[in-house]
Structure 1
Amino acid sequence: MTESIIIEDKAPTPVGQYPHARRVGNLLFLSGIGPRDPDTDAVSGDVHDQDGNLVCYNIEAQCRAVFRNVRAVLEAAGAKWEDLVDVTVYLTDLPRDFRIYNAIWAEYFPDAANAPCRTTVGVSWLPTPIAVEAKCIAVLRQ
């Protein structure tokens, strides 16, 4: 069985000792992908005070950045957006952010019959000051 590691410069650097993705046979397992900008490490839409403390975040900007970063990792592995089969999304404020996240999901996956399976989980925090992260599995069909 073929196995390969994917590390992509067009996605943010992982915050630990792990790759962006691992391909095993025709399955592609993505590590948790957050909304950080790959060039600046900044999080889209975050507002900080003069001491660098997070004042507020923009869940729409973060969701779009997560999907952009997921797409970059998929493409680096030779996969396409349509190859996603399962997505687990973690939100740090599920009651506040789910409606917006769900609307953005519908933009990216307008046809429920062709969308990947999805689980959305509310968590108290993520390893960096982000509000959303996605863990994905894709099937490479070529």
Structure 2
Amino acid sequence: MASDATSSAHNSSRAPEPVGLYPHARRAGNLLFLSGVGPRQRGEKQVPGVELDTAGRIVAYDFERQCHAVFQNVRYILEEAGARWEDLVDVTVYLTNMRNDFPTYNRLYAQYFQSNQPCRTTVEVNCLPTPIAIELKCIAVIS
């Protein structure tokens, strides 16, 4: 964990290991910026609910299961960095299949964010670095 007077990196012991050289989150003043968070589970390479063919391409996936896993991973990172779910102020959502998955995502998002409603942007991307269908990029304010 690097630290100085204005910025500090945070890594969660419960969220999945980053797939590159970056922290789970970085605090700058009272803002906490989360790196992209996917549904993988700590210590596991297989993505919850994802079925791959022998070439590693996605054959089928349980999008709802991935959503729940992503939200749990975000919560882990927030908590271990000293923030709460209610501290989220901005969420950027990356989906690999907007047409099929957005209705499910929107329904689950409404359940998770009933009392706290951060700003949100949702975009479709061609693919993500691992065989996942969703990734979140979040900003929280720590008081």
Percent of matched pairs sharing the same residue: 60
For 1:125 and 1:52, locate their aligned partners in 2 and report how far apart those are by CA, in whole Å: 13
Aligned residue number for residue 10 of structure 1: 14
Write out the 4+ residue segments of structure 1 that deviate beyond 6 Å after TM superposition: none
Q: Secondary structure at the match of 2:72?
A: helix
For 1:123 and 1:131, locate their aligned partners in 2 and report how far apart those are by CA, in whole Å: 9
Gaps (5+ residues) in structure 1? none
Q: What do you get for the CA RMSD once the two structures are aligned?
A: 1.3
Q: Secondary structure at the match of 2:120?
A: strand
Moved more, 46-55 or 100-109: 46-55
Aligned residue number for residue 75 of structure 2: 71
Aligned residue number for residue 92 of structure 1: 96
1:20 to 24, 27, 36: 24
C-alpha deviation, 1:2, in angstroms: 3.1
Aligned residue number for residue 132 of structure 1: 134
- How many residue pairs get matched? 139
1:30 to 34, 41, 47: 34
For 2:127 and 2:69, locate their aligned partners in 1 and report how far apart those are by CA, in whole Å: 18
Q: Structure 1: which amino acid aligns with 2:77?
A: V
For 1:9 and 1:138, locate their aligned partners in 2 and report how far apart those are by CA, in whole Å: 19
For 2:45 and 2:59, locate their aligned partners in 1 and report how far apart those are by CA, in whole Å: 18
Query: Is the CA contact (8 Å cut-off) linking 1:19 and 1:31 kept in structure 2?
Result: yes
For 1:92 and 1:9, locate their aligned partners in 2 and report how far apart those are by CA, in whole Å: 27
Matched, 1:59 2:53: no
* Structure-2 change in CA distance of 1:79 and 1:2 (3 Å): same
Gaps (5+ residues) in structure 2? none
Q: Structure 2: which amino acid aligns with 1:30?
A: L
1:70-129: per-residue Cα shift (whole Å, max 9, x none)? Answer: 000000101000000000000000011000000010110124xx3111000011111111
For 1:49 and 1:28, locate their aligned partners in 2 and report how far apart those are by CA, in whole Å: 38
Matched, 1:101 2:105: yes
Q: Give the structure-2-normalised TM-score.
A: 0.92
Q: Give the structure-1-normalised TM-score.
A: 0.92
Mapping of residues 105-116 of structure 1, within 5 Å: 105-111=109-115, 114-116=116-118
